[in-house]
Structure 1
């Protein structure tokens, strides 16, 4: 009996009914992006590994799909290198390309490569598939689409405000009830500084970012395993669990981070965004959430995620400010 054909785990076929629904969503998103002056680009499915590696942190690098070099790629590898069984070292000998993990790093590469042909500030959107060598599970696939929108060449905090307006408009058109979670990486850097663990900012943000998935006890356990001191972990608890209105949280943060210049700068940036939003007709709830960390290392300022208020699900939109 012939074996029934199948597809790789973590990938999907889409029926005509599903495609009609998905195209409606994509078309709605594109309309809003264009309404705010963003123009489309596309980049290749593959990027050089030299472009991709080191941009997503140690954990992210492990999730990159590597593409084997063409031809007899193994012939240039010495026998002792094969016997060493070091996959990280071997990969550099047999693979120079990888499938894109997201659309942000390819966009940064695009801007650097084409900077003489771009008028700044440059507002682009991009809707293409990405690939991650992650463990497939409910709501998490190895191949999926991302809908990205970015502004480059402007330092104005109005860009953050406009992106929140875009989120508000998209989800209102799609009739989805969501909340925008907002934070700032400078605040997280300030927190790491005042608890005496500034050099472990990456370990701290990666752990905090998992809070809603693994719970506080497991976050603390991970921090301990990463070498964060028990005193620092204890000091961290009331900070990341601050409650109250956005204004009340900001006021408390000013007290806690008074001795951190970078932390105070982050608070100032967030307050500026909230002040602008107060003057606009944004219907979507925007909440200051200090547990929001966004594990990717390239963020440098405001970070945000969008979550459904009607069902338990991971973030359905995320992003932030980053320097390139």
Structure 2
């Protein structure tokens, strides 16, 4: 008989891992709430018409499509079936797809519910997304995103607050990070001065891979997209600019002096960086011109976060998207958002062993089961302790005490309470500390009111 398995790029999570994941979600949720964000949820599947064309050509290929229910083959002619065109087949056989991110469904939500929403609308959303990507370290096919977005406001203060949120979340986790910033208008300005304005998407998709594939391969990709060698030579020193944030901005000011859109991008980025430098940001803030996040919908600031002590991809990203709702018929609604990659943060916290002890949901006390009479004695006490917020289990069977102790040990339960004939007669209980091995007696009344373990 074949062993059961799960699809590649997906994972099961044990009770301990779920405690850790909930610690991540709860930390992010608490910080979002501090900044006035409200929670929404959207369906796991969306109409393909909502998703297609929103993530660029590469993103479209990574959409998981859901076959139509019923006899979907009856919609195909014999010729279409013999053609064996998988793309054409998928589009006709599937009307729905699993969501690729939370931003496009959010844009759809805003358009559908615009009459119920008060703008500016600050929403957060913590849900799984799916991508038909090649699984590798830190890259999964099913993973959670924890998004926060503000729509209906052009103010760059929103970008500043999102950077503060990132800084606060990673400070709470104890993870040292670099927050990298760029602006899509600067990238558009660079394409413009290279005389390649129509190739902005090709240029950004390629330079976004600089970290992963290196300069030589990026240049090869640019040549493949029809970018001239002279333009590539001009581009190299720009994307490899060094120095402090202000030095880079000054150099860019000179390079992009003839590009109106480029100068606008510099102005926006200067504002964000200057405000962020005026308060005590604990994370490193770095202007990175290779940061392009090859998604078609960013129009202004682009944000990406890298962990400094672990080799892993981006653990948070986001940016400004001035016209995303326009694709659903609602124009002039500006938005900016970030997304924490919970699964990568989970891996980073594991590698750096940064989970606080109290984040693991262990039972505080196990009551040993010595028989019906003893259970009747402890049940009112168990009920009272649970009302006081103490996590309590009763061993369900009156097995040998050694077996019950072994269960407590393997579950990392810190205390076992034993009530036998002797304890019942003296209205007491025996407590065993499973960490130190010490045993002591406590009165029934004292235990009833005990809250700390």
State if a TM-score over 0.5 links the two structures.
yes
Counterparts of 2:88 and 2:313, CA distance in 1:
34
How far does residue 275 in structure 1 lie from its aligned partner after superposition?
Answer: 1.6
Aligned runs of 1:198-217 on 2, under 5 Å? 198-217=197-216
2:279 equivalent to 1:241: no
Aligned runs of 1:299-318 on 2, under 5 Å? 299-318=298-317
Q: Secondary structure at the match of 1:312?
A: coil
Aligned runs of 1:61-210 on 2, under 5 Å? 61-210=60-209
Aligned runs of 1:269-280 on 2, under 5 Å? 269-280=268-279
How far does residue 92 in structure 1 lie from its aligned partner after superposition?
Answer: 2.2
**1:141-179 CA deviation, whole Å, 9 max, x = no partner?**
100000100000000000000000000000000000001
**1:194-238 CA deviation, whole Å, 9 max, x = no partner?**
011111100000000000000010000000111111011010000
Q: Secondary structure at the match of 1:74?
A: helix
**1:121-156 CA deviation, whole Å, 9 max, x = no partner?**
000000000000001111111000001000000000
Aligned runs of 1:50-61 on 2, under 5 Å? 50-61=49-60
Counterparts of 2:90 and 2:6, CA distance in 1:
25
Q: Secondary structure at the match of 1:120?
A: coil
Counterparts of 1:65 and 1:58, CA distance in 2:
14
2:31 equivalent to 1:32: yes
In the superposition, the TM-score normalised over structure 2's length comes to 0.71
Counterparts of 2:201 and 2:235, CA distance in 1:
15
- 1:8 maps to 7
- 1:44 maps to 43
How many aligned residue pairs are there?
A: 323
- 2:218 maps to 219
Runs of 4+ more than 6 Å apart: none
Unaligned runs of 5+ in 2: 325-453
How far does residue 16 in structure 1 lie from its aligned partner after superposition?
Answer: 0.6
Counterparts of 1:93 and 1:186, CA distance in 2:
37
Counterparts of 2:120 and 2:95, CA distance in 1:
32
Q: Secondary structure at the match of 2:143?
A: strand
Counterparts of 1:7 and 1:249, CA distance in 2:
48
Counterparts of 2:19 and 2:89, CA distance in 1:
44
CA RMSD of aligned residues (A): 0.6
Counterparts of 1:163 and 1:210, CA distance in 2:
24
In the superposition, the TM-score normalised over structure 1's length comes to 0.99
Q: Secondary structure at the match of 2:144?
A: strand
Counterparts of 2:211 and 2:91, CA distance in 1:
36
Counterparts of 1:115 and 1:170, CA distance in 2:
30
Higher mean displacement: 71-80 or 276-285? 276-285
- 1:284 maps to 283
Q: Secondary structure at the match of 1:34?
A: helix
Counterparts of 2:210 and 2:51, CA distance in 1:
27
Counterparts of 2:121 and 2:113, CA distance in 1:
11
How far does residue 278 in structure 1 lie from its aligned partner after superposition?
Answer: 2.0
How far does residue 28 in structure 1 lie from its aligned partner after superposition?
Answer: 0.4
How far does residue 281 in structure 1 lie from its aligned partner after superposition?
Answer: 2.2
**1:83-121 CA deviation, whole Å, 9 max, x = no partner?**
112222222221100000000000000000000000000
Unaligned runs of 5+ in 1: none
Counterparts of 1:212 and 1:267, CA distance in 2:
23
Counterparts of 1:33 and 1:230, CA distance in 2:
46
- By relative contact order (CA 8 Å, sep 6+), the higher-ranking structure is 1
